[in-house]
Structures are given as C-alpha cells and as structure tokens.
Chains A and B, each alone.
Chain A
Amino acid sequence: MSSLATGLKGRAELGVALLLGAVGVLVFLDANGLVTPYSQSDPVGPKTVPFIVSGLLIICAILLAINVLRGGKGEAEGGEDVDLAHPADWKTVLPLAGAFILNILLIDWAGWVISGTLLFWGSVLALGSRRYLRDGLISVALALATFYGFYLGLGIALPAGLLEGIL
C-alpha cells in the first residue's frame, strides 16, 4: 500500500475518535442541563453517571486519537463471507441502505407488504443477484407470508397501508 493510502486510512480512524469525543461532549452538555435539587434520598442524582460516561468517552477519544496518530490501527473484523483483501464496496452498501430507507419512508403509508417486498427485492439486487423475476416472486411471497404469519400467528397487525381492505 502506498504511503498516501496508509495516511488516509489512519485519518479515517480519527473519525471514530471524533465521534467518541462528540458523543462525550453531547452527554456532558445534556447532563449539565438537568436541573435537580439535592435530595437526601438520592444523593447521586441523575447527573453523576452521565458525567462519568462522558468523561470515559472523552478520555477514550483522546487516547484513540493519540493511538491512531502513532500508527495504531483497529483490526477490521473477519468472517466467513468477508474478504478484507478488497476495499469497502460502496456500490453495494449504498443501494442496500437506500432500500432500507425506502422501506422506512413507505412502511406506514404503503404498508408492510409493499415496503417489505421492495426492501427484500432491492437488497437482493444490491447484493448482486440478477434473477429479477424469481427474486421478485420470492420477495412478494416473503412479505405476504410474514404479514399473515404475524397477524394470524401472533396477533400483531403490521400496517396494510394501500392494500387496506384487499389483505
């Protein structure tokens, strides 16, 4: 790997330190904003633990930043299907996240059967399957099966949405 790429990789992990620090500050500010009178029955109060947590976050952020600048690197997680030899494949991840967001936007309005179908179909396509028709049929079947399974088996009524009255 070229030195430039190594440098960039190191800088990316600084983002983790930044996130930890930001969450730490957020927790501190939030706890600081609480107004509580001292109470004999609760000497610790609701602020103490948030202060400790925010301190821990900020210390971790600083130590992590130092560690990364000194060349420390988190070990990316392996797994059965994980091939760390190639870089992160955003062309798969972003459409996948897109399918997920589409489902969030549609689920209450269009209903689970439609949004769930799109979620599964979109995910399968994003992950590289190219059997459009078979994938589509499986998606519809899954969404319908879970809809009725939850309704009849568990008494949980998932939203029917646009198909209200048909299902």
Chain B
Amino acid sequence: MDVWSSLMDGFATALTPMNLLFAVIGVLLGTAVGVLPGLGPAMTVALLLPVTAALEPTSAFIMFAGIYYGGMFGGSTTSILLNTPGESSSVVTAIEGNKMAKAGRAAQALATAAIGSFIAGTIGTALLAVFAPIVVQFAVSLGAPSYFAIMVLALLAVTAVLGSSRLRGFASLALGLAIGLVGIDSVTGQRRLTFGQPLLVDGLDIVVVAVAIFAVGEALWVAAHLRRTPLHVIPVGRPWMGKKDWQRSWKPWLRGTAFGFPFGALPAGGAEIPTFLSYVTEKRLSKHPEEFGKGAIEGVAGPEAANNAAAAGTLTPMLALGLPTNATAAVMLAAFTSYGIQPGPQLFSSQGPLVWALIASLFIGNFLLLLINLPLAPVWAKLLQLPRPYLYAGILFFATLGAYSVNLQAFDLVILLVLGALGFMMRRFGLPVLPLILGVILGPRIEGQLRKTLQLSAGDPAGLFSEPIAIVVYIIVAIILAWPFIYKLIRRNRPDKKPLLPANSGAADYSD
C-alpha cells in the first residue's frame, strides 16, 4: 500500500467542510480542557463518546485527534502562566517557562512552545504515517503468543516505569483488571463478579469507568483541597518571538522531537522521560547555561517539542497494534470498540480510509492549533479565571450527563459515584490512575489472547513461548521487573548522584 496516496485520500476526507468543522471544534475544545485545571483530553474524549455515537466514526475521530493535540497545547499554556502543571508531561516545561513568564517573557515562552509543538507534532505525525504501516507489516505475522507477551509488556511497563511507587502502580493495575472482569465471560458465557445483578451482566461501560475515575474522582479530590487563595495568572499579550529567540529555539525543537517520538512509540511510552531528557540535554548544550533556572528559552522549546512528538509517537502502537500507552489513547481505543471497529494490526486494512483520515487530521489539527491559538492566547489565559465553583460543578454536571446518556440508567450513576470515590481514594493515597484504566481496557483483550494461545497448544503452557518474539518480550519483561534490584546493585558500587529535578516538581498525574 502506498503511504503517500493513502495519506492524500485521508486529506481529501479530512478536508471536507463538515470534517474540517469537527477538527476546529476538537482543537478549540482540546485547548480549552488542556488549559482548564481538573479537565484533560482523556476525560473529554470519554465524555464525548456517548454524544458522538450519532456521528460518522471518521468525524468523531477527527474531533478526538484535535482534542488530543489541543490538550497538549493547552497544558503548556497553563504550566507557563501558572507554574502548577496539571499534566506530568508539562512539569518540565513549567520549570523554565514560568520563570520566563515572571521575567516578562511570557509571550516568547508561549510562542516557542506553540511553534515547537507545531514542528514536533508535524514531524512526529509524518514519522507516524511512515512507521505505522511498517509496524503493521511486522505485526500481522505475529501470533497470539507474541501478542499476549507484548500486551503483558505494555501493561507492566506502564505500571512499573511511570509514577513514583511501583507497588501502588501494581495495586492500581490489579484493581483495573478486576473491574475489567465484571460481566459475561465471552468464551463460556459464565457471569463473573455480577453478584446476581442483571445490570452488571454486560460489564461496566468504559465511559462510566473513565468518567468516574477521571472526572468525578478529580472533582471530589479538588473539592476536598480547593485552594482558597486564587492563583496568580501572569497576564500575556499575543505570543511572538524575536530573531534571537528563533536562533535559540530551532535546535532544541528538533532535538526534542528526536527524543519524544521514539519514547512515545515504545510500549512503555509516555512523555515524562523524553521531556526530562530533552531538558537535561538542552541544559548541557546551551551557550547560556547560567540562564537555566532563571528562564532559558531552550528549556521550554526542547521539552515542549519532546512532549508533542511523544504524543504522536504514542499513536503508533495504538493504531498499528491496538496498544494504548497513555490515557487519551486508551479512551480512543475504547472508542474504536464502541463503534464496532476491532483495534489491532488489521485496522489499517479493514478501516484504511478512517485511519488515514485520522492521520491527515492530525496534520490539520496541528496547523489549526498554530493558526488559531497564537492570536487566542490572551483568551485562553482569561479562561484560567473561571470561578472554581462553576468549573467543578460543571465537571460533575457533565460527567453525570455523559455517563447517564450511555444507557439512560440511574444505576450507572451509582457506579459512577462508587468508582468516583475510588478515584478520590487513589488520588489521596498516591495510586496512579493510568494503570487502572489500561487494566480495564486491555484486561479483557489480554485474557482473550491468553486463551487463544493455550487453545492452540491444547492447554500446554509451553505454548506461551512458542514464538521467538514472545521469548524476547518476556526477557524484557523480566528485566523491567528486576530493575529495582539491578539498580540497587549498580548504586551500591557508585556514589550517589544528585537529583536533576527539584524533588517536589509535581506529582505524577495521569488523568490528562
């Protein structure tokens, strides 16, 4: 299949007036939720799932693509103007970005973030368009044993690599897997964890679970600790950059992209590691190292590019393998399923036009973000002044509405409240949210692959190791699991290194 002509077909689909309108809506909505505290792209996509059921899948995904990139863009605006990053991936941006804003260079910080995001997003999306079909070609040759192994790897890697406590990550994962078990077993028709409750037979709707954990849990948690003194938002005009800023920004943009895409594309993806690596690299390479910590533009340009390139990278395993590694991708995967589209390597052949329209709309969304958001930055900054009672009451209101409209059952709202309380508890005691969501979404699919694998080998566990790729993946899994012990051994032989980031630079937040 020719990538170029497929992509052009994708553009033809995505550029129809109707789809372009959805792209604009997605981009605006995404930026708004990225800017607003307490809301994130994952939750927004989850809330929109029931609403978009009436739409063409293509239009819905074009809108989701806009929300995905827009959320990233909005997140950087907040972290520069407020210094309290809402997303773990913009923690690093906040370090230099907020210093720049305080020194009266907010316009330049926003400009380098926006243009860097555009460049990184465009390159990242191009790499996605080139690599995803290659990954698919490789993936279609894989059997159930390899799939099972790769899915186990993705789950364990996300759980073990991200976040501050592996133990709490695994606890969250286990809870997610348990939630995913509820309902009829697809192979034998047995009812699991339904407790005789007929409403549980179909399982817990992923919309309800995602909205409960992301929206209700977050709103209750913030309500319990609402800041009484409003944060100071640094006023900003239209973003712009001088010649010197361009000269200092373009290399960090490209280096950040180079860090971001591969890390995003790995099953253990995520934007935290590449943004951090980009920051450290720029600090070492900079001709103005003395400015770091006081507002160096390189420290905004690099990590912000890495963040967006990672976002594009994350879509590679999502589209090519059906493996999501961040919250928004996970909810988008659930959206595929709700449209009756089977995610996985067959996606490119069975839903080619949809996938290519989605990729084309990522290019378009990126461009729209630059076009719309540079002049709109002052408006977004105003959005941060929204009175908090309205914001959080609104989140609860729309969460209720979204969850209720899936099945029009008050019972779903009971589940929403119970899981919302769980989300509250997880935030209180430092259990990361992402492993739970991935457990709910991937759990049933992993079980399916496991049963297929052992069905092929007639119940012989050796069937799990019947493909070379599977064995390689299990070795990687073993290394990841044993890493803390290996790390201890290494550290025992070396003196302690100083931490490179301030210890309290922001708790990991997977909700956005």
Q: How far is the CA of A19 from the CA of B166 in the complex (A)?
A: 18
Q: A119-B400, A154-B51 are in contact. Are A50 and B38 (CB under 8 A)?
A: no
B425-A16 in contact (CB<8A): yes
Nearest Cβ in chain B — how far from A148, in angstroms?
13
* A81 interface contact, C-beta 8 A: yes
Q: A75-B164, A78-B507, A120-B393 are in contact. Are A104 and B417 (CB under 8 A)?
A: yes
- With a CB–CB cut-off of 8 A, which chain B residues contact A23? 175, 178
- With a CB–CB cut-off of 8 A, which chain B residues contact A160? none
Q: How far is the CA of A61 from the CA of B220 in the complex (A)?
A: 25
A108-B410 in contact (CB<8A): yes
Contact with A along B386-405 (1 / 0, CB 8 A): 01111011101100110011
Q: A30-B193, A41-B455, A44-B451 are in contact. Are A104 and B410 (CB under 8 A)?
A: yes
- Chain B residue nearest to A109 (CB atoms) is B410
B178-A27 in contact (CB<8A): yes
A16-B171 in contact (CB<8A): yes
* A6 interface contact, C-beta 8 A: no
- Chain B residue nearest to A40 (CB atoms) is B458
* A69 interface contact, C-beta 8 A: no
Classify chain A's interface size. 35 or more
Q: How far is the CA of A76 from the CA of B78 in the complex (A)?
A: 21
- With a CB–CB cut-off of 8 A, which chain A residues contact B203? none
B181-A81 in contact (CB<8A): no
* A137 interface contact, C-beta 8 A: no
B413-A107 in contact (CB<8A): yes
B120-128, B224-232, B350-358, B361-369 - the one binding chain A: B224-232
A81-B397 in contact (CB<8A): no
A81-B227 in contact (CB<8A): yes
With beta carbons under 8 angstroms apart, the residue of A81, A108, A125 that contacts B388 is: A81
The tally of residues in B whose CB lies under 8 Å from a CB in A reads 80
* B431 interface contact, C-beta 8 A: yes
* A1 interface contact, C-beta 8 A: no
* B174 interface contact, C-beta 8 A: yes
Q: How far is the CA of A112 from the CA of B397 in the complex (A)?
A: 11
B182-190, B245-253, B271-279, B321-329 - the one binding chain A: B182-190
With beta carbons under 8 angstroms apart, the residue of B188, B388, B430 that contacts A127 is: B388
Inter-chain residue pair count (beta carbon < 8 A): 233
Contact with A along B252-267 (1 / 0, CB 8 A): 0000000000000000
A57-B226 in contact (CB<8A): no
- With a CB–CB cut-off of 8 A, which chain B residues contact A163? none
Contact with A along B96-138 (1 / 0, CB 8 A): 0000000000000000000000000000000000000000000
Q: A79-B84, A93-B220 are in contact. Are A116 and B400 (CB under 8 A)?
A: yes
With beta carbons under 8 angstroms apart, the residue of A50, A76, A89, A116 that contacts B427 is: A76
With beta carbons under 8 angstroms apart, the residue of A72, A78, A81, A116 that contacts B226 is: A81
Contact with A along B467-483 (1 / 0, CB 8 A): 00000000000000000
* A71 interface contact, C-beta 8 A: no
- With a CB–CB cut-off of 8 A, which chain B residues contact A43? 451, 454-455, 458-459
* B376 interface contact, C-beta 8 A: no
Nearest Cβ in chain A — how far from B314, in angstroms?
22
- Chain A residue nearest to B405 (CB atoms) is A156
* A164 interface contact, C-beta 8 A: no
- Chain A residue nearest to B185 (CB atoms) is A46
Nearest Cβ in chain A — how far from B68, in angstroms?
20
Nearest Cβ in chain A — how far from B387, in angstroms?
7
Nearest Cβ in chain B — how far from A72, in angstroms?
8
* A34 interface contact, C-beta 8 A: yes
Nearest Cβ in chain B — how far from A51, in angstroms?
11
Nearest Cβ in chain A — how far from B192, in angstroms?
6
B396-A100 in contact (CB<8A): yes
B192-A31 in contact (CB<8A): yes
A124-B430 in contact (CB<8A): no
B430-A74 in contact (CB<8A): yes
Q: A81-B227, A97-B220 are in contact. Are A146 and B190 (CB under 8 A)?
A: no
Nearest Cβ in chain A — how far from B177, in angstroms?
5
A78-B429 in contact (CB<8A): no
- Chain B residue nearest to A142 (CB atoms) is B397
Contact with A along B374-388 (1 / 0, CB 8 A): 000000000000011
* B414 interface contact, C-beta 8 A: yes
Nearest Cβ in chain A — how far from B324, in angstroms?
20
- With a CB–CB cut-off of 8 A, which chain A residues contact B413? 100, 103-104, 107
B221-A77 in contact (CB<8A): yes
- With a CB–CB cut-off of 8 A, which chain B residues contact A159? 408
Q: A31-B192, A81-B227, A83-B225 are in contact. Are A64 and B397 (CB under 8 A)?
A: no
Q: A78-B509, A89-B225 are in contact. Are A57 and B427 (CB under 8 A)?
A: no
B389-A128 in contact (CB<8A): yes
20 A-B residue pairs with CB within 8 Å: A41-B455, A44-B451, A44-B455, A49-B450, A50-B181, A76-B507, A77-B428, A80-B86, A82-B226, A82-B227, A86-B228, A88-B225, A93-B224, A99-B396, A104-B414, A120-B393, A120-B394, A127-B393, A154-B53, A158-B408
**Beyond known contacts A92-B223, A100-B216: 11 more, CB 8 A cutoff:** A16-B431, A50-B193, A57-B174, A78-B84, A79-B38, A83-B225, A96-B220, A112-B401, A123-B393, A150-B401, A158-B408
The 3 closest A-B pairs by CB, nearest first: A74-B430, A43-B459, A80-B37
Q: Which residues of A contact B (CB under 8 A)?
A: 12-13, 16, 19-20, 23-24, 26-27, 30-31, 34, 36, 39-46, 48-50, 53-54, 56-57, 60-61, 63-64, 67, 72-84, 86, 88-90, 92-93, 96-97, 99-101, 103-104, 107-108, 112, 116, 119-120, 123-129, 138, 142, 146, 150, 154-156, 158-159
Q: Which residues of B contact A (CB under 8 A)?
A: 37-38, 50-51, 53-54, 78, 82, 84-86, 164-165, 167-168, 170-171, 173-175, 177-178, 181, 185, 187-188, 190, 192-193, 195, 216, 218-228, 231, 387-390, 392-394, 396-397, 400-401, 404-405, 408, 410, 413-414, 417, 424-425, 427-431, 443, 447, 450-451, 454-455, 458-459, 506-509
